[in-house]
Amino acid sequence: MNPRYRRVVLKASGEALMGKQGFGIDVAVVDRLAADIADARSLGVEVGVVIGGGNIFRGVAVASKGGDRVTGDHMGMLATVINSLALRTSLVKIGVDAVVLSAIAMPELCESFSQRKAMSYINQGKVVIFAGGTGNPFFTTDSAAALRAAEIGADALFKGTQVDGVYSADPHKDRNAVRYEHVNHEQVLREGLAIMDTAAIALARENNIPIIVFSIHEERGFGAILRGGGRCTVVSNSPAPSSKKETRDA
């Protein structure tokens, strides 16, 4: 069957890799994520991946305690490299060719990012894991995901979250939170819907890249959406339909 999108960037939070642990990497979770990516590749979808580093270190934590934000963000970038190497290991283990490209040069561990190199690997059928954020402090890995999606001409940016779409409020805290099937970038910015940071949303809007928000914990959920099913919220430049909202209990 023909997948809904041909080239995508998957953004996963570092916290998702913890599983039920309080810190670090749960190998079983990384293996499941790798299996979901392999499922997408079996459809012929070209996949790039950006993983956060919050399971290991968050740069804003340093700044919140009076430390230097730039140093903190650099430490967070290193955490994303650790997570990226873990994912590559899981992918290679199941026979999926993958490469890590880092925005911060560390040639002993992985290759440095360039748009030409990324496109070359994607055209070779490899999964490209983008590490090190944008390489700049004060920018999140959400912004890095939107930037890389624009640079490789992705058809969509998949945002794996703790819930199954976009809600009007945190559904874990507000039982009256309303779930949206479709919203547009402008509405996300206007209403402050917690999907990605403002820079990432704006970049996706300017490059007409839809953002597909889904649960990273739904096994094979990534592939289900690519097959035209699955449960998600689509954020795009199209006017949002007046219809479909549903509560958390729906």
Count of all residues that appear for the chain in the document = 250
- Vertex 87: Cα angle to 84 and 91 (nearest 5): 135
pLDDT in tens, 212-225: 999 998 889 999 99
Q: Is 149 or 68 the better-scoring residue by pLDDT?
A: 149
Q: Which domains does the chain have, with CATH numbers?
A: 7-247 (3.40.1160.10)
Give the count of beta carbons closer than 10 Å to the beta carbon of residue 226: 25
Q: Give, to the nearest 10 degrees, the angle between helix 69-93 and helix 27-42.
A: 60
pLDDT in tens, 15-60: 999 988 889 999 999 999 999 999 999 999 999 999 999 999 887 7
